[in-house]
Amino acid sequence: MRLRQIVLLLLLALAIGAFVALDLGRFLSFEQLKASQASFAQLHVEQPLAVAAVYFLIYVLATALSIPGAVVITLAGGAIFGLWPGLLIVSFASTVGATLAFLASRFLLRDWVEARFGQRLADINAGVNREGAFYLFTLRLIPVVPFFLINLLMGLTRMKTWTYYWVSQLGMLAGTAVYVNAGTQLAQLESVKGILSPVLLGSFVLLGIFPLLARRVVAAVQKRQVYVRWASVRPKTFDRNLIVIGGGAGGLVSAYIAAAVKAKVTLIEAHKMGGDCLNYGCVPSKALIKSAKLAQQMRHASKYGLSDAAPSFSFKAVMQRVHDVIKAIAPHDSIERYTGLGVEVLQGYGKLVNPWTVEVALNDGSTQRLTARSIVIAAGARPFVPPLPGLNDVGYVTSDTLWEAFAKLDEVPQRLVVLGGGPIGCELAQSFARLGSHVTQVEMGARIMIREDEEVSELAKASLEADGVQVLAGHKALRCEMVDGEKTLVVEHAGAEQRIVFDQLLCAVGRVARLQGYGLEDLGIPTHRTVDTNEYLQTIYPNIYAAGDVAGPFQFTHTAAHQAWYAAVNALFGEWKLFKADYSVIPWATFIEPEVARVGLNEQEAKEQNIAYEVTKYGIDDLDRAIADSEAHGFVKVLTMPGKDKILGVTIVGAHAADLLAEYVLAMKHGLGLTKILGTIHTYPTMSEANKYAAGEWKRAHAPQKLLAWVKKYHDWRRG
């Protein structure tokens, strides 16, 4: 705490201490006011300006110091000065005092609160920036909400002082008028209860509710304004309840939910059902990872008491297995399955014509127009291809195209360059290295897997390098060239250029939302990196929603499915109840070996957001099952609130980390702490015991040592 803060705190403490010590509160009672009413009135007649100035100062000080008695002082204003002069004086005095209390709270407490509750306060400040003035005005209209509490709490936010002042002045005016007017009738009042009648308090509550109702009316008017240009084409009846554009995870789940609640729904997909995950991402990559892992285990069979063996295989057969896996899973997402569930599936390109109409260019060459009350956009994302000079000349594959391109190869690429150090790049780099490629991974950032803690990145790098991957972090790709008939990537590192010769180049530098080609621009729906939506996943047109990669902020299959529930339910039942998409507990994993899985905060995010935390870490090298499986490496790292077992985030590195994470996802979602995990029976011997032992580490670190010392004495006494 700075010196100025200490000085102010001491002054406030002295002022409040003096108020208590001198028993000044006795002058702020209703009885004292009635007894002194005549003398105050006489004094005001003799020295009106002096009395008004002293009264104004007393009111400001009482409000600024949050001293009880504001009601009595306000009554005094009406009794001494009358209605209109009293209202003028009290209105400004109360607002000035409230603003001083607001500033004192900000000066003394805001930095400390932000340091301790940074993320929560950031969310509140975001809301204050959007609608803070409205909510403050609403609170000021309801006197049952203690005004001193409003002053102190609002001071912790980022609301502008001038905004706070004028909104408070306006918001408190109605309540102030009631009390000042009551003060003019002081002689007829028997007690303060005469003012604070149930009817009057009810009126104040209704006064506070009115802005909320008005806000709904305004929102309805704004919705109508959005549709003004389309009023002439709005259908009187609709062909469908819901139209879904895109047959990936977000689209499939949206359509499934609609069909499950007996809505009439049409799903439009131009290419392969199942989207990127089934055909180009999660499924094929995991099939490849499994084959590559087995090849690696054969090379290191001596770890299991067997003889090391060089794996002999056909690369074509490996790639054929990948496609066989896709084919085996495809029925889960097939047209036949969804048709059987009650979904109409159209194969073609859907394009928004107006907020209720979609034109479908069917794959057979015909077109069809459909109308729906609501539309869900689930168009997904595509790999980002960096604008490298010469890239098209040398050729490249992406995480989407490699499965078809590499299936045509007789052998694994001998020299493979992987651009990108994120999860996709790391998974594919390790897999192809294990299958025999000489892999060079190029990452422009300082380290691979930049979103994870530094120790995780270092462990991942060490693991990839142990499998033969040359990891070049801090290397910027400049251009591609053909040199003496060989493909070359030129990179820059520490100011010098380096050349990397390759046979195949894989771009894995991220994915971008598909935003063109289906009418967003024609309807004026705003987009940036993703489709702009509100917390309910609505676009500027409340009946048009977006879900999945096209909506962001996460690009995971499971979050697409998660968002799809909100999009579908809001689209079908939103006129009765809208649900805000919940991103509070989002897990993800990178399926390298060892796996890296995380939910919630890690250390670097907690530090960036100024969130206080404790770290509990359990080394999986100590786990019986991991030792038995020769998988004794990695750790479970849990972040908790200081002194409490509330889980803020978990990072697991090790075998089956993604599976182990599920227990923590459940715990965080339902508010269960580490003590509950410790008290749960975990089957022995399993990897899941790592979670229990991590909880045990936390419990051991927070054992009540003083109590245990007395318990020891008790046991000593029991032994005689």
pLDDT at position 199: 47
Say if residue 441 is in the same domain as residue 460: yes
- What pairing do the DSSP bridges indicate for beta strands 595-600 and 647-654? antiparallel
pLDDT bucket at 225, cuts 50 / 70 / 90: confident
pLDDT at position 132: 79
pLDDT at position 219: 60
Q: Is residue 717 part of a domain?
A: no
pLDDT at position 206: 52
Q: Please report, rounded to a whole number, the percentage of residues in the chain having pLDDT higher than 70.
A: 88
Say if residue 153 is in the same domain as residue 283: no
pLDDT, the chain, mean: 89
| Whether pLDDT at 40 is above 80 | no
pLDDT bucket at 469, cuts 50 / 70 / 90: very high
Say if residue 76 is in the same domain as residue 195: yes
Say if residue 435 is in the same domain as residue 337: no
pLDDT at position 209: 59
Say if residue 555 is in the same domain as residue 667: no
Say if residue 403 is in the same domain as residue 286: no
Summarize pLDDT for 289-298 with one digit per residue, the tens. Answer: 999 999 999 9
| Whether pLDDT at 494 is above 50 | yes
Summarize pLDDT for 337-358 with one digit per residue, the tens. Answer: 999 999 999 999 999 999 999 9
Summarize pLDDT for 157-177 with one digit per residue, the tens. Answer: 989 999 999 988 988 887 788
Say if residue 599 is in the same domain as residue 667: yes
Q: Averaging pLDDT over each range in 47-51, 144-148, 366-370, which range is the top one? A: 366-370
Q: Is residue 718 part of a domain?
A: no
pLDDT at position 107: 87
Number of domains in the chain: 4
Question: Cα torsion for 105, 110, 116, 117, to the nearest 10°?
Answer: 90
| Whether pLDDT at 121 is above 80 | no
pLDDT at position 565: 97
Judge residue 380's burial from the number of C-beta atoms within 10 Å of its C-beta, 0-12 exposed, 13-18 middle, 19 or more buried.
buried
Q: Is residue 529 part of a domain?
A: yes
| Whether pLDDT at 75 is above 80 | no
Which residues form the domain of 548?
Answer: 240-382+513-573
Q: Which residue has the higher pLDDT, 189 or 39?
A: 39
The CA-atom distances, in angstroms, between 505 and each of 384, 400, 418, 492 are: 14, 13, 6, 17
Summarize pLDDT for 556-615 with one digit per residue, the tens. Answer: 999 999 999 999 999 999 989 999 999 999 999 999 999 999 999 999 999 998 899 999
Q: Which residue has the higher pLDDT, 177 or 495?
A: 495
Say if residue 147 is in the same domain as residue 128: yes
Q: Is residue 674 part of a domain?
A: yes
Average pLDDT of 348-376? 96
| Whether pLDDT at 674 is above 80 | yes
Say if residue 406 is in the same domain as residue 479: yes
Say if residue 35 is in the same domain as residue 125: yes
Say if residue 206 is in the same domain as residue 62: yes
Average pLDDT of 661-669? 97
| Whether pLDDT at 25 is above 60 | no
pLDDT at position 13: 75
Where residue 486 sits, what CATH number does that domain have?
A: 3.50.50.60
| Whether pLDDT at 189 is above 60 | no
Q: What is the SS3 assignment for 455-521?
A: HHHHHHHHHHHHCCCEEEECCEEEEEEEECCEEEEEEEECCEEEEEEECEEEECCCEEECCCCCCHH
| Whether pLDDT at 486 is above 80 | yes
Structural element, H or E, at residue 351: strand 344-354
Q: Fill in the DSSP letter of residue 652.
A: E
Domain stop point among 540, 573, 606: 573
| Whether pLDDT at 472 is above 90 | yes
Lowest mean pLDDT: which of 189-203, 391-405, 683-697? 189-203
pLDDT bucket at 33, cuts 50 / 70 / 90: low
pTM of the model: 0.78
CB 441 within 8 A of CB 471: yes
Domain stop point among 211, 231, 255: 211
Summarize pLDDT for 428-449 with one digit per residue, the tens. Answer: 999 999 999 999 999 999 999 9
Q: What is the DSSP string of 97-142?
A: HHHHHHHHHHHHHHHHHHHHBHHHHHHHHHHHHHHHHHHHHHHHT-
pLDDT bucket at 372, cuts 50 / 70 / 90: very high
| C-alpha of 269 from chain center | 29
Say if residue 374 is in the same domain as residue 469: no
Q: How far is 578 from 567, CA to CA, in rounded Å?
A: 10
pLDDT bucket at 1, cuts 50 / 70 / 90: low
Q: Is residue 720 part of a domain?
A: no
Show the tokens assigned to 87.
Answer: 């209202």
pLDDT bucket at 540, cuts 50 / 70 / 90: very high
pLDDT bucket at 108, cuts 50 / 70 / 90: confident
Q: Is residue 220 part of a domain?
A: no
Q: Is residue 149 part of a domain?
A: yes
Residue 126 CB partners (closer than 8 Å, separation 6+): none
Q: Is residue 610 part of a domain?
A: yes
